[in-house]
Chains A and B, each alone.
Chain A
Amino acid sequence: MVSSDAKQRMIRRVAREIEAGMTVNLGIGLPTRVIDHVDRDLSVCLHSENGIAGVGPSVTYEQADRNLIDAGGSYVSIQPGTAFFDSAVSFAMVRAGRLDLTILGAFEVAMNGDLANWMIPGLFTPGVGGAMELAQKARRVVIMMTHLDKQGHSKIVRECRLPITASACVNRIYTDLAVIDVDAQGLMLREIAQGISLDEVLAATEAPLQVADNELPTF
């Protein structure tokens, strides 16, 4: 069980991925919470699959516009410069490489950057939504997830056992334990969560991790 404190630190760390002027798509669930930790003055353009560029902050039930949800079904707002468009335009934007960054959840990430986040055969078959386009075409794909699944198994694996969403697409993995880059040489451990030892990270990771000689930063 991941503590809410560890989860919060992961969210705050992922928020540092987002830079001024970026166009960003945040996946449903934990990734949508990242924006709460990004300075609104950074002029980040949030894209939502259902046809919004420039998604504004979430609103309460009382403030909600019945026609204004994001792709996760949350009621959101507009801000100066928001644009609406149809679903074909929305994904033209994705496939043409106009997204600087997407932050997605995952069931498994393999050491070569393969991502599985859309299907658990026989158990979880909600469909694919826009995950394949986002994973394949955003210029940078980062994953945020718990390091272990509910059974305690590593979600960072040698090869995905689940049906993949896209192959060799992940650039970086954020978990409650570590920050790991997917490089041509394999997985590189970059940072460790506060209070976690290197041995704990290595023991919790099925895929081989390369570790730099210098002391690793914590988050």
Chain B
Amino acid sequence: MTDKIVDIEAAIAVIGDGATIMIGGFGVPGTPFCLLDELVRQGPKGLTLIKNDANENGMGVDRLLLGNQVKKLIVSHIGLNSNAIKLMNEGRLEVELCPQGILAERIRNAGAGLFGFLTDIGIDTTLAQDKPRFEIDGRKLLLEKPLRADFALIHAAHADPLGNLLYAAAAQNFNPLMAMAAKHVIAETENLTAPGGLSPEAIHTPAPFVDRLVELPGLTEDYGVIRR
């Protein structure tokens, strides 16, 4: 099995203008802030980002917004980022809103090699307007299409060089789903252990889903507890 460790500059250099990128995390936990900061430094533009939320002002995804690198967000909510709301209301940022569980399931669906699913979630709402409708066994349902991406950026608490990943507490969220749904998966980790260092039963994302792994020398302030 192959060692997937690369330095952060090389890991992000494969991402070009116009790429579609999935980004793990729900708020701070699980957001790969170091990979995002490197994406800001290298500066590809016209990006489509798929993420649960837009982080908070001044951190993570917001730095990509401030650098005018983002064309479109596919998210479940942006309530904690007033800059994202402002850009959306000014028509400078396209935002596709998706119910949170449907966002997760569309990503999982792509990751499982499938081509969509039927659901009644949101069927009586404005979010259903452009979705194809079917009636199955007398029940009205919407077709939800899979969400695929060119790249996924993942944060794992623990990893081995093969790319087996383990997430901490509530930092799991969208990470294991996105790690299945992109053509090229780049993970960062806080703790790299030798192969065999992770219990096989504990692994959340198995190595075959991961293409590149970045060992973080330390964490930036963004990963810390926010004082509210």
Check B170 against A50 for contact (C-beta < 8 Å). yes
Q: Give 27 CB contacts A-B under 8 Å.
A: A50-B29, A51-B173, A52-B170, A61-B225, A66-B223, A67-B30, A71-B26, A75-B225, A85-B172, A86-B104, A86-B204, A87-B26, A87-B100, A88-B107, A88-B108, A88-B177, A91-B105, A92-B101, A95-B101, A127-B79, A128-B98, A130-B101, A132-B127, A133-B99, A163-B125, A166-B122, A166-B125
| Whole-angstrom distance between the Cβ of A58 and the nearest chain B Cβ | 11
Instruction: Collect the chain A residues with CB atoms within 8 Å of residue B122's CB.
Output: 128, 132, 136, 166
Check A88 against B105 for contact (C-beta < 8 Å). yes
Whether B139 is near chain A, meaning CB under 8 Å from some CB there, is no
Task: Bits for B97-140, please: 1 = Cβ < 8 Å to A, else 0.
Answer: 11111111101100000000001111011110000000000000
Instruction: Collect the chain B residues with CB atoms within 8 Å of residue A51's CB.
Output: 26, 170, 172-173
Whether A23 is near chain B, meaning CB under 8 Å from some CB there, is no
| B204 and chain A: residue at smallest CB distance | A86
Whether B184 is near chain A, meaning CB under 8 Å from some CB there, is no
Inter-chain CA distance A90–B175, complex, in Å, is 13
Whether B72 is near chain A, meaning CB under 8 Å from some CB there, is no
Inter-chain CA distance A119–B88, complex, in Å, is 14
- Which residues of B65-110 are within 8 A (CB) of A? 75-80, 85, 88-89, 95, 97-105, 107-108
| Whole-angstrom distance between the Cβ of A69 and the nearest chain B Cβ | 6
Task: Bits for B30-52, please: 1 = Cβ < 8 Å to A, else 0.
Answer: 10000000000000000000001
Instruction: Collect the chain A residues with CB atoms within 8 Å of residue B169's CB.
Output: 65, 67-68, 78, 84
Instruction: Collect the chain B residues with CB atoms within 8 Å of residue A66's CB.
Output: 28-29, 223-225
Check A127 against B125 for contact (C-beta < 8 Å). no
Consensus secondary structure, chain A interface: loop
Given contacts A86-B176, A132-B122, contact A68 B170 (CB under 8 A): yes
Whether B168 is near chain A, meaning CB under 8 Å from some CB there, is yes
| A65 and chain B: residue at smallest CB distance | B169
| A59 and chain B: residue at smallest CB distance | B225
Given contacts A86-B172, A166-B124, contact A128 B101 (CB under 8 A): no
Instruction: Collect the chain B residues with CB atoms within 8 Å of residue A217's CB.
Output: none
Instruction: Collect the chain A residues with CB atoms within 8 Å of residue B19's CB.
Output: none
Inter-chain CA distance A67–B176, complex, in Å, is 15
Check B127 against A128 for contact (C-beta < 8 Å). yes
Inter-chain CA distance A129–B104, complex, in Å, is 11
Inter-chain CA distance A13–B173, complex, in Å, is 33
Whether A198 is near chain B, meaning CB under 8 Å from some CB there, is no
Partner of B101, one of A75, A94, A125: A94
Check A127 against B170 for contact (C-beta < 8 Å). no
Whether B171 is near chain A, meaning CB under 8 Å from some CB there, is yes
Given contacts A66-B225, A88-B177, contact A132 B99 (CB under 8 A): yes
Inter-chain CA distance A48–B172, complex, in Å, is 13
Check B76 against A129 for contact (C-beta < 8 Å). yes
Interface centre among A68, A88, A94, A129 (most CB of B within 10 A): A88
| Whole-angstrom distance between the Cβ of B182 and the nearest chain A Cβ | 16
Whether A176 is near chain B, meaning CB under 8 Å from some CB there, is no
Check A129 against B77 for contact (C-beta < 8 Å). yes
Check A95 against B99 for contact (C-beta < 8 Å). no
Inter-chain CA distance A68–B224, complex, in Å, is 11
